[in-house]
Structure 1
Amino acid sequence: MPVAHPLPVRKLGSDGLLSSQQGIGCMGMSMAYIDKHAPVTEENCIAVIDRALQLGCTHLDTSNIYGPETNERLIGKAIKGKRDKFMLATKCGIVSKDGKRGVDGSRKAIREACLASLERLQTDHIDLYYLHRVDRTLPIEESFKEFKALKEEGKIRHVGISEATSEEIRRAHAVTPLTAVQLEWSLWTRGAEKAVIPTCRELGIGIVPYSPLGRGFLTGTITSLKSLHENDFRVTAQPRFQGENFDKNLGLLKQLDSLAQKKGATPGQLALAWVHNQGSDVFPIPGTKRIKYLEENVAAAFIKLTAAELTDIETIFEEVSGPRYSEEMQKLSGDY
């Protein structure tokens, strides 16, 4: 299904931020997802961002921990000279020390991270700044007092939070209004629908689903674990990509592919269209490193699904094999 026309722009959240209907999750350009047979170069990634601009896909999502730091430098290089054409989102809060991941939501750490991100991104402001993970060793209000201060200083324009509980969202929002909540939401990860998404809608907060394509699984391009590098994040830390879970989930994917063919789409497009069809307050950020898949993703935003089609798609994924994260990673994440 070809790209129809440039993505529309609409308000993300309730406080005036404008965003393309769909964005790009840029993490995979620098880490986590490793191409076993065709490594991607910096030039490839910059070409993807250039093409995204042509398609109206101007919401770029990065983080200081991607790389770490290298992804922000890449994005800064890619948007140089055209900064005002993009809505730039980045994050802080996850820290890496001696090869181990942790969380630091202290005011000092947040400020230092913000200043460093501004330098790497070669910009004087961040459009949307998220707390990447909540530091549960201190009151969440302390973290967001610093976000409020950075906003008042003009270093950031809008505030967001990622992988938070409903209570944490409410408490952060009370300190400084949240524009967006980033969460994992796709056909095979729907736990946020119980409490987190209703809370966002009650408070008028935009919803930014990451991994709307199930970390690539729902595209139908990963049919064997042998196609993934042994150090790929999905192999090392994603239970759904391991052992019997992977084989069982492939059976679900075959059913999705059958529905997609009837719609004249790829399975990935149908999965992404399902996310788009969840509401006008939803702004998914599928990741990609290739122009071909960028164009497929953008085209998916224009696919309309009937109530019957939505039900048929959802029925396939009523039972997914394996949790979304390893036990260690889940401790740092939201309650879904």
Structure 2
Amino acid sequence: MKPFTYTALPARVIFGVGTTDRLPDELERLGVKRAMILTTAPQADQGRELADLLGARSAGLYTGAAMHTPVEITEEALARYEDLRADGVVSIGGGSTIGLGKAIALRTDAPQIVLPTSYAGSEMTSIIGQTEQGRKTTQKTLKVLPETVIYDVRYTLSLPAVMTVTSGMNAIAHAVEALYAEGANPVLSLMAEDGIAKMTAALSRVRAAPADLDARSDALYGAWLCAVCLGSGGVALHHKLCHVLGGSFDLPHAETHTVVLPHALAYNAPAVPEAMAAMRRATGSQNPAAALFDLSRESGAPTALKDLGMPEEGIDRAVEITLENPYFNPHPLERDALQALMRAAWAGERPSS
């Protein structure tokens, strides 16, 4: 066996149905007396329910979380945090809300408890992405890793069918790249393969029966495995492209991952035979990139960047930004090949084997 390094991130995970009821005890455990609750505007009702649950331990509610964690939103939320004299944050939502909680923790060392309502996975990572003046940058620091994550399957029951698929594909992307990222190792590869298998199978079941609690539980469990991979393994070309597209063109996060993933996987496939063998087992397909594309298309999820608002003339700019500061990638990054990848993703072409 090849030498490897595996670093487990310190996080407490509570998984199940109805686990939200344990939130007050978890805040007590962390010593948080006044928690500011973070949500987006559409999820404000869920935030208010948490405030009712916490009673006097709730300092207040902020509902302005936004995609890609704009710095100006963080500054507004931070001022609110200080005005409320809060000493911790509770984030309920997807990647936008979790990202805002991380941004506050980065600046204040505030303890965080996260209640994910999607499969985004940010809750299990020490990575934060922030957008300023049209550029999205990322950094890795344990200061932003949530202390406790409460997975309550009930929150995912109301995810619309298409959003379920795009959020699930976002999760799958974390595990796919963990199979061949710079920090890849046998432990993460086991988690990645099982996470991809659980999620792809669950997405098909959820599509047929959205309220199936067992299927939703499997999907959330798969998302957790994928998120652990993201937090410990690292990323490659796929995430670089999505960060560029999100930060520079303001494309929606999960939908962009859904469109780009099959093409990034096909690009790297020749350089990662062991990872592709794992992908074939996990997806049950000899062409995993096409299988992921088909899963999205059959579920009504987007398969083309042009349908997300990406201008065709922006392709060259996206490639240029990608090459300016590339992430590690197992296959060399070649300008012409990247342009071909981006054009296929823009047009919504099915990847070939």
TM-score by length of 2: 0.31
Q: Which one has the bigger helix percentage?
A: 2
TM-score by length of 1: 0.32
